[in-house]
Structure formats: C-alpha cells, structure tokens
Structure 1
C-alpha cells in the first residue's frame, strides 16, 4: 500500500503529456514586507541557532507575558543557510530556566502572512488562545515559523530543523532567561509532522538540546499515502495535498517538478493559492482530484519518491531518543495504521512510546480530546517522572 501511495504522488508530480514549457519554475510567495524577516548578507558566517535579530512584540493576547520574536540562522533541505523566525513567550516573572515547550502549529499554507509569527497576533491561528494554558503552567513557549522563508508546506524535514534551531536560538537569547531549560515538543497534524521530525533529527542534528518529551497527534506520517487518500478521487481536502506538492517544489526545485506538469486548470489553481492560507486553499481545491489538474498519463519518478521518503516519518530512518506520546483518532482520514507502524519501529529501537488511538474520533475531534493528555504527558516529563509506554 505504501509503495502504491508513494507512486500516486510521484506520478502526480511527474506526469507526461501536453505539459507546460520545460522552463516553468516553482511559484514562490510574495516576500514579507517587514524587513525584520530579511536574512543578513553575512548569514553564512553564523552557526545554526545563532540569533540574528530580535524584537519585543507588544500584545494583549498573552496577558502578563513577555513576547519576543527572534530571527535566527538555520539550514534548508539542501544544507544551505537560511534565516527563520520563532516567537518566544515567557510568563510573568521571567525565564528563570523554566521549562520550554516548542509548539508547532498546524500551518498548511503557502503565503508568508499565514506564518505563526503573524497569525499568533492577527487572529489567524486557532490554537493561539490555548497557548495561555501552557503559560499558566509556568512554561515558556516557542512557536517557530516551521514552513521557513518560502512557506514550503509539506517540507517536514525542513520544519524539524527550523524547530530545533529555533530552540537553540531561544536558549541562547539572554534576555529570555531560558539557558539550560528542559525542553518539550508538541504539535498536531502538520505541526505534529514538524514535531516528529524535530524529535527524529535531534539525536544527530542538535544532540545538546535537553529534550525530555515529545507529544504529537494526528500526524500524517507518510506523504505518499496522504496524497493518494486526498487526490486519487475527488476529495474535499484535495487543496491541502496540492499545496503540499507546491511547497515541496519550492524546497526541492528540479526534483518535485510540479509546475511543468500542470494542465490549464492546474496552473490556475496553483496561481490562485500561491499566497493563500489554509481555509482559502481548502475552498479552492474542494472536491478536485489529480486528474483535474494534471495533463497526460501518470508515470513514477525516483527523485519524487526520494523527496517524499525524506519528508515522511514512516520512511525516514531517524528515531527519537526522547520519550514520545502519540495520539490519533480512530476515524481520522489520516491512516492510523501507518502511525502504528512508526510506533512499532520506535519501540524496537528502545524509545519509550505511549500510543493513544481515541475511539470514534475524527481528525478534528482528536485534536481537542488528545491535547490535555499531551500537556499532562509533558508535565510529567518536566517533573522527572519515568515515561510510560505501551510498546
């Protein structure tokens, strides 16, 4: 099934026939007009996690907390230096080495205005009010723009690197007072994917970070399976899969060769959502399928398969060392079977994993039902309580 699903997206990205000219390029978002986000010319001189720029953000949305935004150096999927932003929220009283949670929101968007560093404050992030629950526990919170400087939706390994380097930046930023803080990771859906990759990359990419626990839910652990489920036939969420293909093409130009393969309807959809946020993407792609946007017969491509494997937790070889809490709805459109497969692999490697399949819950319901358990799990890890497991 995994091979068939991967082939479906590989084929979608590499179909042959009456395609657009071979010179077609990825469609990148309109750059952020705020100069704070611009990378400095000497970016390569900095190390991953180094703070390049900082500012305080006045806001009434997080009462009593101090909120900073940090521009920091990180690394893209081609191992090239890039700049990214994380928003760091510290409860009243200052950092004091208190626990630090990196929360990765479910951002399935292509426009820079949809990034968490904007949506936290303009009402666009539905999860934003819940962060006050974490702050009320006395935890500091970091919220990275984990899609990066081109809003590369679907580029999950990039999201993991940005998350880890954002934590390095938060700990290195003296005014926050978080040096040496114990760290937890949390996220749901697309944010859960970035969370999972941060956990899997951490042992080699950022082994110095004191990561004590990981909580992730509703995670699409195999992009090929997800693409097959959303695009083989008309689906109300087709736009999300199409946007992920666009985002991967931004991060892997010349490997995810989407733009050259689109038919006129596909190019229209691509242009329509190139700077869109989640709701607009879903609306624009509602009840479409790959056959509606691609021209010609489907044929697989090895570079596309490689990109998908690099960004799917089911096929990525890295394993978290920190204890993991995974939750998933029994009725989720994202296949729970693949989540069980990933859990089994982590268990065989010796990682403590607690997997909760929530009876009767779909994707939306599971996000609400599992969150209190996830935060309780992290609280126990911060307290030094041995991690449970049901391997």
Structure 2
C-alpha cells in the first residue's frame, strides 16, 4: 500500500477550499419567490456525439447501455484496457438523462472478478472537467490524483469504473444525482458483454464530494438498484448534511468563493424551478456566473477569489424558503431515510472543521440502529485532504476483504 501517495500541495489547498466552498455556496439560495429575470447559464454543447442526449431516453431503462467504445491506453494505468460507456440514468427530479463512465480493465484479472466504482472528486461546472475527459488531458491541474490508489486496485485484478457523477450538465453539489449515476454506471458496466462483469461482486469508494456520491449510492441502492451485488462501500470525509453546512456559513470575502458560486449554480442546473439562483444575482454576479459556467477548479477559484455572496447577490435573507430547504434536504444523506444493506466503511477526521462531523455520527448511528454493518475509523489529521490519503489504504483493504467473502466487521 506504499504506492498511495500524498498529492502535491496545490491539490491539498484546492481540496480544502472545495470543502469550505460547499459551506459558503448555499448562501446564494433564494429566500422568497421572485420574478424570473435570468435563466441558468447553459452548458456548452460537447462536440463529441458520444456525449449527446438521445431523444429516446424515456424509452430506455436506468442502466441501459446507449453506446460503448474502446479508448486509447492511459500511461498512468499501465497494463490496462480502457473503455467508455454511455448509459441511461436519472436526474435529481426524475427526468431521464444520459451519463458516461470510464472503465479501466486490468490485463490480468480473474474471471467474473470484482468491479470497483470509484467516485472521483470533481470540482467543476464544465463537463470537460469530468474524469472521462481529464484522463486524456496533459493539464496537471486536471490530472486524476488518485491514480496511485487506483493502480493498487488494478494490480489486485479489480476492474475500476470512474463515472462522470456530476452528470451531463456538471451539476456540482447534486449528491442524489451522483448516487443515481453511480448505480446506473455499475449496471451499465455489467451489461457490456466484452467486460465480463455480469457475475462479479461490486464495491464502491470515494472521498469528500466523491464520498458523498458513494454514500448516497449506498443508501439508494436497496430501492433504486436492489439487484446489484454490492458487497461493500467505502466513503470518507462525507458532507452528510448540506443544510447544516450552509447554516454555518459566513458572508465575508473568501479565497474559494468561486467554488461557492459553482456549487449554487450546479444545484440550480438540477433544480431550475425550485432554486433560481441566477434570479438573485446582480450584474457583477451574472458576469461572474458566466465566467465560471464551463470552468474547471482553477478557473473557478481565480474568478471568485476574494469575493462574497453579499457582493453579487440581490438578497441576504438566506436559506429560509421552503424550496431551498427542500433542495438541501434532497441532497443530504442524513435526511435520506434509506439505509444501506451493503457493509459500509467510513472514515474522517474528528477535528475536520470543513464538514459537520456530528451529521456523520448521527447518520451512522441511525444505520447501526437499523442493523447495518458499519465500521467507522477516525484519522486525526490537520486537514480534510490529508485524511483522504491516510484512510485510502484501509478503504482498499476493507473492500478487498469484502471481495474475498470475509464477514464484514462492525463497530456500531
């Protein structure tokens, strides 16, 4: 497990800013109905037809494969064949959507071997920033920093799925959407005959925003995808309650405010009628929105550095509207009544000031009372991202044991 490495300092700073930004982001949520004056900024159309939204999506079932293609090899994953799958999934409010997952298939693997769905951290509003795109970029700021850990999984003969879990409109902040795309991506991977995954066990993993998609997928699976043989999930540093994070926000200028705005705009894309953020932006806010609408992490950070919600919004009455509260609750795992039936490994720092740790505790206690198998481990560390690195070896070993059929431990 020594190949799991600490990401470079720039990545650590960006990840910490991301978690803080989720708190700040929801300060733009509207407090009262207003007359619509600005539509959400549209996502630029992707020139690659593989990413299109077919007209007959409503006739397809979740997880149906729309297209599959072999991709060029990736030097960061030696000894691996790469596929991309286009599949039908479901948006936050139930509409059919098409999503994409990239599948890394190790050259040496057992028949019907394990499938690990790994939900990468994606801090972006541009679809070009999703894993299926960034895997093929030379931009070091868009590289998949988890490659060392994923190579450990590949060396064990696991096939790895990397879903674009923010969806076709890069709906940053939409946790339920991420869970549904994760589950449908697993379904789709198992339905591609060339991959030989139909009979194998499934695991899921992710940290921070990727952990949020993973944890939501685990809670949704019993009702949304009960047929999947998910033998374990590992989710770390999970923002379990967006509303509680939002209530702790401040209005002072913040170096990561661009990510704050991005989270609000991402939720607006999924809930345009219930969360019309653009209606609450002044001229400066609309200009900033347009500057980040297709941006990746660094572009978003630059555009918003040192700004605040009070500068760009026409209202300061935060979070009191029923529609805003509903959207926050819809995307908060603590509020979702479902309980995972798959064993869960969860890790976080007890001193992580970027996420509501009490919401993690409350959620896991509820799972334990319902009879779920939960193993929670604390990793005291100075920052949010360091905890990701410290817990990664344990997460992989936990899933390895589940794939081998060992009984799941629990410290409920």
TM-score normalised by L of structure 1: 0.93
Any unmatched runs of 5+ in structure 2? 1-21
Within 5 Å, which residues of 2 pair with 1:37-48?
37-48=51-62
Select which of 362, 370, 375 maps to 1:354: 375
Distance 1:166 1:367, change over 3 A: same
Q: What is the deviation of 1:385?
A: 1.3
Q: What is the deviation of 1:61?
A: 2.8
Secondary structure of residue in 1 paired with 2:335: coil
C-alpha distance after superposition, 1:314-369 (max 9, x if no partner) = 11111111111111123322222221111111111111111122113310110110
Q: RMSD over aligned Cα, in angstroms?
A: 2.1
Select which of 133, 136, 149 maps to 1:121: 136
Within 5 Å, which residues of 2 pair with 1:6-155?
12-15=28-31, 22-59=36-73, 60-93=75-108, 96-123=111-138, 124=142, 125-155=144-174
Secondary structure of residue in 2 paired with 1:326: strand
**What is the aligned partner in structure 2 of residue 277 from structure 1?**
296
Alpha-carbon contact 1:99-1:140 (below 8 Å) kept: yes
Distance 1:210 1:291, change over 3 A: same
**What is the aligned partner in structure 1 of residue 244 from structure 2?**
225
Secondary structure of residue in 1 paired with 2:359: helix
Within 5 Å, which residues of 2 pair with 1:252-267?
252-267=271-286
1:235 aligns with 2:235: no
**What is the aligned partner in structure 1 of residue 18 from structure 2?**
none
What is the distance in 2 between the residues matched to 1:95 and 1:38? 34
**What is the aligned partner in structure 2 of residue 168 from structure 1?**
187
Q: What is the deviation of 1:183?
A: 0.4
Any unmatched runs of 5+ in structure 1? 1-5
**What is the aligned partner in structure 2 of residue 325 from structure 1?**
345
**What is the aligned partner in structure 2 of residue 216 from structure 1?**
235
1:177 aligns with 2:191: no
Distance 1:95 1:161, change over 3 A: farther
What is the distance in 2 between the residues matched to 1:9 and 1:284? 14
Secondary structure of residue in 2 paired with 1:344: helix
Secondary structure of residue in 2 paired with 1:322: coil
C-alpha distance after superposition, 1:202-233 (max 9, x if no partner) = 00000000001010111111112333445443
What is the distance in 2 between the residues matched to 1:289 and 1:314? 28
What is the distance in 2 between the residues matched to 1:321 and 1:145? 24
Q: What is the deviation of 1:286?
A: 2.8
Alpha-carbon contact 1:216-1:325 (below 8 Å) kept: yes
Alpha-carbon contact 1:105-1:188 (below 8 Å) kept: yes
Q: What is the deviation of 1:111?
A: 0.3
**What is the aligned partner in structure 1 of residue 317 from structure 2?**
298
Count of residues in correspondence between the two structures: 384
Alpha-carbon contact 1:95-1:176 (below 8 Å) kept: no
Select which of 372, 384, 396 maps to 1:375: 396
**What is the aligned partner in structure 2 of residue 157 from structure 1?**
176
Alpha-carbon contact 2:131-2:163 (below 8 Å) kept: yes
What is the distance in 2 between the residues matched to 1:263 and 1:330? 39
